[in-house]
Chain A
Amino acid sequence: MRGFLTAALCALALLIGCSYPGPPGPFDYWAAASPSDVVQISNGFVCRDQTSAPEPNAHGTCVDWGFIGCGNVPATDPMVAWDPTAGRWWYSVIASPLGGPSTVCLSSGVDPYTIDLAFQLPATAFGSTSLDRPQLAVSGNKVAVAINDPDHPRNPIRTLVMNKADLLAGVAPHTGLIKHSDFVTLATVIGADNPLAWVRPVTKGAYIGLITGVPGVTGGVVTAEVLVKGTNAGGDPATDAPVIVLPDGARMQEGNGTLVPSAAQAVVRDGRGAGMDLWLLTRTVRNGARELALARVGGLTPMFAPFLDSADAIGLPPAAAFFFTPSLGLDDLGNHALVGFTGGGGGLFPTPFLVGKDRGGALGATLATAAGLPSGGRVDYAPSGAQFTVLTSHFVGVGWEGLGAIPTTTDGRVAVFFPFTE
């Protein structure tokens, strides 16, 4: 469907909602979608929007987020994932202040507000003394939590892989630990296939890693990390650390300056027996120009011979100087990719944008979906997702980080969802 993201974006392509506010913060947002619900979380709320009743100006029903801590309260950095195999929601949080255990808990069914299993993941499970910013990924037979180690330069990641059947049985799971050499991003998994994947963008492209085995079942997890050239537009994604002055003079910074979590987003898709593919979005700089590189990598399974199927570069919108919080969504058939980001600079208040691409087609137009927001502060995370993409353009005031109380966020979130096709 060429022109997927053109003027009729909301009316034609999206069943649930477009450009509507999400839950207020405090910041650190994530979201996931099942065939019947969209769950958005922040460090304050868990909001459930049942898609049977689309409300383009609502965030659904919200409750206090404390229950997803599953005894690990106070907590921070919440994540949520829908598990189509088990028909349940997975949550992860990390203790606050940092250094305590991470927790993974599991809904008892399709209701995201009912929890019946929880597991504590101590820092020692990651071979670390301090944990930060967990990433959560769920496949057909594994659950993985990847965590920064802030004690190490450039935040190398440790990924703890857990046997999902053990978790579902409520017993201590067989586990395995992957010690990465640098920052990696776990890919969101669409569908029920078994492998998990991670990406590690570098100047030449991106390393794609695959986790195929099951701890405690196959005698170990087969991992490999293979460089696929050309998936990155050419720059070093770890060096792009925007701190900009907005038109009103306020300074804006993303993610407290430790930007690798936003350097890449990835979604891996279950090809229903025809292998898997992976869509990768990387923030980069090429020839001095900032770009978002959108690539599709095929050949993930069964032989793991990844190849670059397509690559596109998204340029900055007019008046924007930086990309913030790149976000990637993918429909479950792998036909449409949707990129969200916030663009801003000295001539543009941070503004949410969207760009779409159809498989085999050209990039669509870059669309501004809401007016920019004058404020100081930082732009926060944006999740990658299956069947949806969410980007944030909200702000927390300059008083954050020990300079004052956490202010009320200015809610400028935009959420866009794909229709489910199964």
Chain B
Amino acid sequence: MLAFIVLAALIDMGDGVVTDAPVEWIPDDVPTVVVPVAPPLPTAGPAIDPTTAPAPQGQGSTP
């Protein structure tokens, strides 16, 4: 995997030179990391009234 640094251009904003920041970009030319999920895929269930129905399975998360 090739990794390289792309540096942003310097831009004069009028009140001084604006600094740039390095951003590391790692291209992945081997498309095997993200994989399709095999069907069948789940389908939406029947309509429910969220004001009266208990909340379905779910969990809050930290950020």
Contact = CB atoms under 8 A, between A and B. Distances in A.
Given A173-B34, A178-B24, A115 B61 contact: no
A148 B63 contact: yes
Q: Chain B's interface: helix, strand, loop or mixed, by majority?
A: loop
A260 B45 CA distance: 35
A338 B35 CA distance: 38
A43 B59 contact: yes
Contacts of B19: 227
A69 B42 contact: yes
Interface string A91-110: 00010101000010100000
Interface residues of A, number: 100
Given A45-B50, A215-B28, A181 B56 contact: no
Contacts, number: 226
A172 B34 contact: yes
Q: Is the interface of A mostly helix, strand, loop or mixed?
A: mixed
A52 B57 CA distance: 30
Contacts of A260: 63
Contacts of B31: 166, 171-175, 216
Contact of B34 (A71, A160, A180, A259): A160
Contacts of B63: 132-133, 148, 155, 255-256, 258-262, 381
B36 A62 contact: no
A379 interface: no
A310 to B, nearest CB: 14
Contact of B28 (A170, A177, A261): A177
A344 interface: no
Contacts of B35: 119-120, 172
Contacts of B26: 127, 176-179
Interface in B1-51: 6-9, 11, 13, 15-16, 18-29, 31-37, 41-51
A179 B60 contact: no
Contact of B60 (A69, A113, A223, A406): A406
Nearest to A262: B63
A31 to B, nearest CB: 14
B18 A120 contact: no
Contacts of B8: 224-226
A64 B56 contact: yes
A219 to B, nearest CB: 8
Given A76-B59, A77-B61, A105 B50 contact: no
Contacts of A155: 63
Nearest to B57: A74
Contacts of B41: 67, 70-71, 105, 115-118
Given A25-B55, A179-B24, A223-B23, A174 B29 contact: yes
Interface of A: 23-28, 42-47, 59, 61-67, 69-71, 73-77, 94, 96, 98, 103, 105, 113-122, 124-125, 127, 132-133, 148, 150, 155, 160, 162, 166, 170-181, 200, 207, 209, 215-216, 220-230, 255-256, 258-262, 304-308, 380-381, 396, 400, 406, 408
In the complex, the 4 A-B pairs of residues with the closest C-beta atoms, listed nearest first:
A43-B58, A113-B44, A118-B37, A224-B8
Given A75-B58, A132-B63, A175-B34, 17 more contacts: A23-B50, A24-B50, A25-B58, A25-B60, A28-B61, A44-B55, A74-B59, A76-B58, A113-B43, A115-B42, A162-B34, A181-B21, A207-B21, A216-B29, A220-B25, A230-B15, A258-B63
17 contacts: A28-B61, A47-B50, A63-B47, A64-B44, A65-B58, A96-B61, A105-B41, A120-B36, A127-B26, A132-B62, A171-B31, A172-B31, A174-B28, A177-B26, A178-B23, A226-B20, A304-B9
